Homo-oligomer: A and B are copies of this chain.
């Protein structure tokens, strides 16, 4: 048999709005007992019982938050879910449901949306969340994804941003700067490709950091881990905009100061090597890179023995009285003021 190598392209208009939603969500299964009614009515119904409900929402826009020239649609669907779930875990909660709305231009064939939803489906399956609603609409230009994530938490476990106290330890999960350096590699390859479309890039040495950019994982494991260790964070936030900006959020909202130790910031060897190659300071990348989706939290010093042996958790500093200010203590033991710098600000230098 001769294989038809032409990719199938089905026009979205062939299905209509109701047909489209039904088609894209037909394989989605409900797994959470709290989901009473998922897709198919005016609204979803959820039973939180004695727990509190947690709600967060985010918008991802083509050309602003992602570039389809190097972001496969399946990864994009996966990442859109991760970005949102991360906010639920940052409340020390469990994620249980999501709604997904997309605006899409007619230049996308059905098969492209199927890829996007395959990523959403995979994320929902791995992270045990039910897709309970959404909206699919046309857009005159580009692709836009809006996800609302819903979770549940016992009241006594909620970790807000404003509970840090002086002398609390500052702890971060995983390692930082990978997503930003992955983006640098992908943008370089895009430029190379523009000049020579036949160039086959060898990206083996960047596997980890590219995955951090294209397929980040939210820290679903951290709230149950902390519960198991008997640690209640005094404040918690997720790292979407860069370590520096998130530390400042916690410090300001908790009305405390902070000392962050440069030599404690966890960096993967691939981040360090790629920073050297790109001649970028790795501390700067960790502080301002963003998109790591790790969790940053503070704990009472008395809880230190409970976390110290855990390879997922690194103590990177401690909180102080507000009047002492917010500082980075460098490797050379100099004290410099911590500044909020998102990745946009960073690109200007």
Q: Which residues of A are in contact with B by a Cβ distance under 8 Å?
A: 36-37, 40-48, 52-59, 61-65, 86-88, 90-91, 93, 97, 99, 101-103, 132-135, 137-142, 144, 146, 148-151, 153, 155, 158, 160-162, 236-238, 253
Contact = CB atoms under 8 A, between A and B. Distances in A.
A42 B59 contact: no
B57 A52 contact: no
B42 A91 contact: yes
B54 A160 contact: no
A54 B43 contact: yes
A65 B142 contact: no
B141 A43 contact: no
18 contacts: A41-B162, A42-B86, A43-B91, A45-B54, A46-B52, A57-B101, A57-B133, A57-B148, A58-B135, A59-B103, A59-B146, A61-B139, A63-B140, A64-B103, A64-B139, A140-B141, A141-B141, A144-B144
A52 B47 contact: yes
Contacts of A162: 41
A53 B48 contact: yes
Contacts of A93: 43
A57 to B, nearest CB: 4
Query: Interface SS of chain A: helix, strand, loop or mixed?
Result: strand
A54 B97 CA distance: 12
A139 B144 CA distance: 9
Contacts of A41: 91, 160-162
A86 B43 CA distance: 10
Copies in the complex: 2
A69 to B, nearest CB: 15
A237 B41 CA distance: 8
Contacts of A101: 57-59, 146
Given A47-B53, A99-B55, A148-B148, A42 B238 contact: yes
Nearest to A132: B55
A6 B59 CA distance: 33
Contacts of A65: 137
A36 B62 CA distance: 34
B53 A46 contact: yes
Contact of A140 (B53, B64, B88): B64
Contacts of A139: 61, 64, 144
Given A42-B161, A47-B52, A64-B137, 14 more contacts: A42-B56, A42-B90, A42-B91, A42-B236, A43-B88, A45-B153, A46-B54, A47-B53, A48-B53, A59-B137, A61-B139, A61-B140, A62-B140, A146-B146
A151 B37 CA distance: 14
